[in-house]
């Protein structure tokens, strides 16, 4: 349940940033929102965006080493995409996922006492697909850069660098 909850919280917090960056409405001047399927806001938000998320999930599953099937690579793709478009908002969102997760765990299983246990038995990252997370982050960043290039938008590099550094230190 822990990976499921963290992926769900990450998606709830980060996917709206990516979806906002992708946008509901056409960007070209003079184009109509309901002129075609590609510019229809309902189709963009209910078909095109989820199809992109599903495609990212399939690509990450196919190209990650080993038998890895999981959604956390897609969550990290959300992070990579959002980092290049809205770096400061992404860091606030990524840090808020930690807070929401801690509150959820505290409410679900409150511990009044803590007992000593072995800490050298197994590393914390033993069951985590590090290459899946890294590939998701790179795939999301590449998709974000491609969208920014297509729309001729340039975020401030120092914000992107600072946000990437803060995310790396946090994770």
Start-to-end Cα distance in the chain:
20
Lowest-pLDDT choice from 40-49, 77-86, 87-96, 121-130: 121-130
The answer, as to whether pTM is greater than 0.85, is no
What are 8's two structure tokens?
Answer: 């769900």
pLDDT tens column, 134-161: 899 999 999 999 989 988 888 899 999 9
> CB neighbours of 138 closer than 8 A, spacing ≥ 6?
80
pLDDT in tens, 81-115: 999 999 999 998 888 888 888 888 888 887 766 67
User: Could you give the CA distance from residue 16 to residue 97 in angstroms, rounded to a whole number?
Assistant: 13
């Amino acid at each position: 349940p822990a990976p499921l909850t963290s992926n769900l919280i990450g998606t709830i917090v980060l996917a709206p940033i990516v979806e906002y960056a992708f946008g509901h409405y056409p960007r070209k001047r003079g184009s109509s929102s309901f002129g075609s399927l590609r510019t229809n806001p309902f189709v963009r938000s209910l078909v095109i965006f989820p199809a992109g998320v599903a495609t990212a999930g399939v690509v990450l599953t196919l190209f990650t080493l080993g038998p890895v099937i999981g959604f956390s690579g897609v969550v990290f793709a959300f992070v990579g995409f959002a980092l290049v478009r809205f770096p400061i908002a992404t860091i606030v969102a990524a840090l808020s996922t930690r807070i929401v997760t801690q509150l959820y765990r505290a409410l679900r299983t409150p511990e009044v006492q803590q007992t000593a246990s072995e800490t050298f038995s197994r590393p914390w990252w033993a069951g985590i697909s590090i290459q899946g997370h890294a590939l998701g982050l790179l795939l999301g960043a590449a998709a974000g850069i491609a969208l920014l290039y297509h729309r001729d938008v340039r975020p401030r590099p120092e914000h992107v660098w600072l946000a990437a550094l803060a995310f790396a230190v946090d994770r």
